[in-house]
């Protein structure tokens, strides 16, 4: 339980001392605010309290914490702050957002955010997707001071940019197609033209 609570404190950016104190001080059917989280004691089962944790109106977790854990001196969460689960989470989070330059991209990276200049756009062509729909696709060659990469453009994205535009890409993914590293924008990603076209290619 200590490892899980320590993980929640890291994931939701709540100091472990503050989280533990909120658990200790929460009375039954009373909610306590802890950073962006709301923690409510929903009752008891034998020697444990049941807690409901919410982030705004979204349920984050429901868990039991034993009275003996809550009565430990100091903060028992501290000894779990360097556990494997937290290290893996932080490494994954850092890896997902670490590169803001094309030269640092590796196949498999997700949630890529970067700025680049559109150097070329190929002629668009129609394809059938694996879902059976038809779509229009084109490839744009984009570059920054560290290198170039192909960016796959779909449908409305094609007409939204032109050669010479400085663009901002958010929540893209690096992948390999026929042995070549490329970039694509996911469903939640965005492609926008910057007002200042001052990206060095």
pLDDT for position 135: 85
Q: Confidence band (pLDDT; 50, 70, 90) for 78?
A: confident
- C-beta of residue 192 within 8 angstroms of C-beta of residue 167: yes
Average pLDDT over the chain reads 86
The secondary element (H helix, E strand) that includes residue 141 is strand 134-144
Q: In sequence order, what are the residues at sequence separation of 6 or more whose Cβ sits closer than 8 angstroms to the Cβ of residue 52?
A: 39, 40, 42, 59, 61, 62
State both tokens at 137. 């696709």
- C-beta of residue 69 within 8 angstroms of C-beta of residue 77: no
Top-confidence residue, 92 or 52: 52
Q: At residue 139, does pLDDT exceed 50?
A: yes
pLDDT for position 196: 53
The whole-number average pLDDT for the span 83-98 is 74
pLDDT in tens, 14-44: 889 999 999 998 888 788 888 888 999 999 8
Half-sphere exposure of 183 (CA within 13 A, CB side): 33
CA distance 78 to 17: 8
| SS3 (DSSP) at 197 | coil
Top-confidence residue, 199 or 16: 16
Q: Give the domains, in start order, of the chain with CATH numbers.
A: 2-93 (no CATH), 98-193 (2.40.50.140)
- C-beta of residue 158 within 8 angstroms of C-beta of residue 152: no
Q: At residue 77, does pLDDT exceed 70?
A: yes
pLDDT for position 199: 46
pLDDT for position 98: 53
pLDDT in tens, 160-180: 999 999 999 988 999 998 889
Q: At residue 149, does pLDDT exceed 90?
A: yes
Percent of the chain with pLDDT over 90: 39
pLDDT for position 200: 44
DSSP string, 24-73: HHPPBT-EEEETTEEEEEEEEETTEEEEEEEETTEEEEEEEEEHHHHT-S
Q: At what angle do helices 84-97 and 2-11 cross, to 10 degrees?
A: 20
- C-beta of residue 105 within 8 angstroms of C-beta of residue 132: no
């Amino acid at each position: 339980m200590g490892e899980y609570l320590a993980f929640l404190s890291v994931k939701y950016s709540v100091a472990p001392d503050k989280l533990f104190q909120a658990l200790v001080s929460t009375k039954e059917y009373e909610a306590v605010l802890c950073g962006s989280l709301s923690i409510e004691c929903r009752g008891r089962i034998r020697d444990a309290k049941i807690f409901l944790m919410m982030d705004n109106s979204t349920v984050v977790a429901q868990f039991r914490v034993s009275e003996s854990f809550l009565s430990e001196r100091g903060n028992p969460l501290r000894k779990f702050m360097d556990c494997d689960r937290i290290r893996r989470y932080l490494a994954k989070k850092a890896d997902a957002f670490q590169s803001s330059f094309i030269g640092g991209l590796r196949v498999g990276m997700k949630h890529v955010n970067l700025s680049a200049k559109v150097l070329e756009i190929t002629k668009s062509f129609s394809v059938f997707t694996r879902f059976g729909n038809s779509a229009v696709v084109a490839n744009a060659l984009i570059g920054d001071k560290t290198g170039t990469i192909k960016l796959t453009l779909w449908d409305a994205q094609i007409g939204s940019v032109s050669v010479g535009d400085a663009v901002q890409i958010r929540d893209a993914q690096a992948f390999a197609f026929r042995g070549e590293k490329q970039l694509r924008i996911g469903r939640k990603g965005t492609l926008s033209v910057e007002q200042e076209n001052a990206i060095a290619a």
